[in-house]
Amino acid sequence: MHISEIGRLANSITYVKGVGPAKSELLEKEKGIVNQWDMLMEFPFRYIDRRSFNLIQEPVEEGQIVQYKGKILNVIVQGESRKRRLTAEFTDGTGTITLIWFQGVSRLEKLIRNGERIIVFGRLSIYNRKRTIAHPEIEILDDQSGERKSKGLQPVYSSTEKLNSKGLDTKGIRRITYNLIADLREHDVYESLPNYLLQKLKLISRYKAFKWIHFPPDHAELKQAQTRLIFEELFTLQLQMLFRMKSRKAKFKGLSFEKVGNYFLQFYNQELPFELTGAQKKVLREIRADTKSGVQMNRLVQGDVGSGKTIVAVMAILLAIDNGYQACLMAPTEILATQHYLKIEQQLKNIGLKAAYLSGSVKGKKRKLILEELERGEIHLLIGTHAIIEEWVKFKSLGLSITDEQHRFGVEQRAKLWKKSGDTPPHVMVMTATPIPRTLAMTLYGDLDISVIDELPPGRKAVKTTTTYDKYRGRLNQFLKSEIAKGRQIYVVYPLIEESSKLDLANLQEGYERLLEQFPRPDYQIGVVHGKMKPEDKEMEMQKFAQGRTNILVSTTVIEVGVNVPNASVMVIENAERFGLSQLHQLRGRVGRGAEQSHCILLTGYKLTKVARKRMEIMCSTNNGFVIAEEDLKLRGPGEIEGTKQSGDLNLRMANLARDGHILKTARDLARAILDKDPELQHPENLLLRKLIERQSGNNLLNRIG
Ligand code: ADP
Ligand code: MG
């Protein structure tokens, strides 16, 4: 936020009542809070509603959370020194319960007297039909009115251990924020949205939104504050993205692929081993329309694992070549890039075209030759890892760049590409099997067009997914043997998470040795692949598996993306509870590529968290990547109904994409309409919006994905 926009709030928080140098220093250290604006931006992550009460006479269950309003009847302190405990009878006129404390007894003794009117809040336990609440939260009511002193919903703030120990727990932070807000005036808060938008959408002012997000008088006001702030956040993002997209389109012309030529047709008629699915044809038509429009294509092609993205890429490449351009195809790993190369190189050769492979590991003379041929235009297609967009790689006329299995293709990379073809940038296509929910896609790729291959090639049998526990390994091995006897191959995948990678590798090694005992040579062949191996060794193991020379491939998630071995029909995932949903789905996609029935077996420990259990259930219940992506987003979302914290790395403060899809759509539609009418945002009424565009610093998301 620019200093001129936060005005007086740029002052140190030491000016706020209740914040001395010690607290201020700690807040800076623990939360990066320096000035009053930062403090204001520390939104509560949930709220407590303490205004409706239960009656003691109501039927209740063990463990239920209740809130009663009533009177202390009889306080008794028992025991000596550290073993002291305080019990109190409590009534609300409809019955009595017992409150009990084992800690903080001396403080409570002074606080709770016979006859004191209080509110108690806590978890009931029922023993011998007697109801007790241990360590309830209490609030002493006003002597005169018998009402609570604070009104409205109570904000709950996140704290840290260190803050807690210095009195800056949620209550402490609440007090400071309260004092800050009490002094806040309308003109202290810069309004970022033009009036006409506020009116059109019936949004409250930014000032009011800040007040109510911290101290909402009621649910309705909280909702208004949230809506305003969520809209602002999503709208800003969309406006910036669309503005950027427009100026890019205005700045860069696109290459025009005028014709569908001989290579395309020859391939289509002679080389294509199957009929394209309707979805593949549809996406090809979209690509065709883009590439001849004269505007640069920026297209994301989404298609579930096995939906046949590769062939679509090949056809698009032929379109480029037909029009006299070169193309490049990038993959995130060497394994994947090689696999593409081996397959596509042959296909192109058959129709008289030349493909080459380049990665960091291609060196010396070989590399030199490739670079020369590329610059002379003798290589039509360059396949490889990201090495192929490095500066020293020069094309004669790059017309199309395709990135496979990478949904984070950053601005930096796109910018590099643009430099590769003179004044006019190549068309760009990014393919991903990670089904991104529409809302997320709009936010991440607001400036990309999206195609979806939403149909699998015919004849695929859905993968059968089951879960089993470690202790049933014996039975699992029997099953694996029977599959191998049928000529099938098996993946066994272990999680490998960077921080604990040593431990994980040991885990994989142990699993490998266990398998060797169960599946002895020479009857069985087992291969191992993991990220710490040399690329050549990895490559060799993968090839052995692809050629059917190994029965079982033990690996980390390096096989996650793209690898295609149709004869592999069983995927065993070890410690499945440690994987996220999307990753599990990706892994499962490695099987089910042939005509045989495939299986995915999720091995887990016996005790699972609720979320992990849910993930397993979802995996067993559906094969649909989009359903899984939506569920994933929900599970990873904030969970709190009124919560405002966003998980994940989108840097969204307020918005939750799983929940706020409709606001996002409104924001996007409005941003688009405004830019259509006033592309440069020069109308006086759009002055504030112009500022939103100019304020790009500090927005990591945009800087990252452009
Ligand atoms: P992904 O979308 O996961 O990258 P691939 O492109 O690797 O999928 O395709 C998976 C398999 O399906 C490949 O063996 C491919 O040859 C085959 N395939 C692709 N399209 C079709 C189709 N229309 N009909 C039959 N098989 C197809
Ligand atoms: Mg693929």
Which tens digit of pLDDT belongs to each residue from 259-314? Answer: 999 999 999 999 898 999 999 999 999 999 999 988 888 888 988 878 899 999 99
Q: Give residue 437's pLDDT.
A: 67
Ligand nearest to the CA of 589: 1
- Find the mean pLDDT for residues 43-64: 82
Look at ligand 1, atom 25, and give the residue with the nearest C-alpha.
457
Least confident of 2-11, 155-164, 401-410, 578-587: 401-410
Q: What is the pLDDT of residue 699?
A: 42
**Range among 415-429, 607-621, 654-668 rated most confident:** 607-621
What's the CA dihedral at 78, 80, 81, 86 to 10 degrees? Answer: -10
- The per-residue pLDDT for 641 is 23
- Confidence at residue 551, expressed as pLDDT on a 0 to 100 scale: 96
Give the per-residue pLDDT at 422.
Answer: 66
Atom of ligand 1 nearest to the CA of 280: 23
Domain ranges of the chain: 52-150, 262-291+307-432, 464-622
Q: Do domains 52-150 and 262-291+307-432 have the same CATH topology?
A: no
Q: Name the percent of the chain lying above pLDDT 70.
A: 88
Q: Which fold has domain 464-622?
A: Rossmann fold (3.40.50)
Ligand 1 binding pocket mutation candidate from 277, 311, 454 (most atoms within 8 A of CB): 311
Residue type at position 451? S
Whether residue 147 is predicted with pLDDT greater than 70 in this model: the reply is: no
**Quick one: pLDDT at residue 361?**
86
Which residues, listed in sequence order, are joined to residue 234 by a DSSP beta bridge?
Answer: none
Q: Which of 382-391, 497-506, 568-577 has the lowest mean pLDDT?
A: 497-506
Query: Is the minimum distance from the CB of 168 to ligand 1 under 6 angstroms?
Result: no
CA of 402 to the centre of ligand 1 (A): 17
66-70, 290-294, 350-354, range with greatest mean pLDDT:
350-354
Of all protein residues, whose CA lies closest to atom 13 belonging to ligand 1?
Answer: 308
Angle between helix axes 334-350 and 535-546 (nearest 10 degrees) is 60
Cα distance between residue 538 and residue 532, in whole Å:
9
Sheet containing 568-573: give its strands across.
Answer: 464-469, 599-604, 568-573, 489-493, 552-555, 526-529
- In the reported structure, the alpha carbon of residue 308 is separated from the centroid of ligand 1 by a whole-number distance in angstroms of 3
Q: What pLDDT sits at residue 440?
A: 67
The pLDDT tens digits of the residues spanning 20-50 come to 899 999 999 988 899 999 999 999 988 877 6
Ligand found nearest the CA of 308: 1
- Asked if residue 433 has its Cβ within 6 Å of ligand 1, the reply is yes
pLDDT band at 491 (very low <50, low <70, confident <90, very high): very high
DSSP state of 433: S
The ligand with the least distance to the CA atom of 304 is: 1
pLDDT of residue 648: 36
Q: How far apart are CA 594 and CA 483, in angstroms?
A: 14
Class of domain 52-150: mainly beta
Each residue's pLDDT tens digit, 204-232: 999 999 999 999 988 899 999 999 999 99
Taking CA atoms, 142 is separated from 49, 70, 89, 324, in Å, by: 18, 12, 20, 84
Token pair 């405990």 is found at 85
- Mean pLDDT confidence for 447-464: 84
Question: In sequence order, what E strands does 65-113 have?
Answer: 65-78, 85-91, 96-101
* Burial class for 624, CB neighbours closer than 10 Å (0-12, 13-18, 19+): middle
Query: Does residue 311's CB lie within 6 angstroms of at least one atom of ligand 1?
Result: yes
Q: 262-291+307-432: what CATH class?
A: alpha beta
Residue 313: nearest ligand to its CA? 1
Q: Are strands 117-127 and 96-101 parallel, antiparallel or unpaired?
A: unpaired
Q: Residue 329 corresponds to which tokens in the numbers above?
A: 């195809």
- CA–CA dist 438, 360 (Å, integer): 35
Task: State the DSSP code for 512.
Answer: H
- CA of 404, closest atom in ligand 1: 4
Q: How far is the CA of 561 from the centre of ligand 2 (A)?
A: 7
593 Cβ inside 6 Å of ligand 1? yes
Write down the pLDDT at residue 655.
80
Instruction: Name the average pLDDT for the chain.
Output: 85
pTM of the model: 0.62
% of the chain beyond a pLDDT of 90: 44
Q: Is 306 in the pocket of ligand 1 (CB under 6 A)?
A: yes
Phi, psi dihedrals of residue 151, rounded to the nearest 5°: -110, 170
Q: Distance (Å, rounded) from C-alpha 433 to C-alpha 305?
A: 5
Please give the pLDDT value at position 559: 61
Atom of ligand 1 at shortest range from CA of 453: 2
Confidence class of residue 508 from pLDDT cuts 50, 70 and 90? Answer: confident
| Residue 563 near ligand 1, beta carbon < 6 Å | no
Q: What is the pLDDT of residue 408?
A: 55
For the CA of 405, the nearest atom of ligand 1:
4
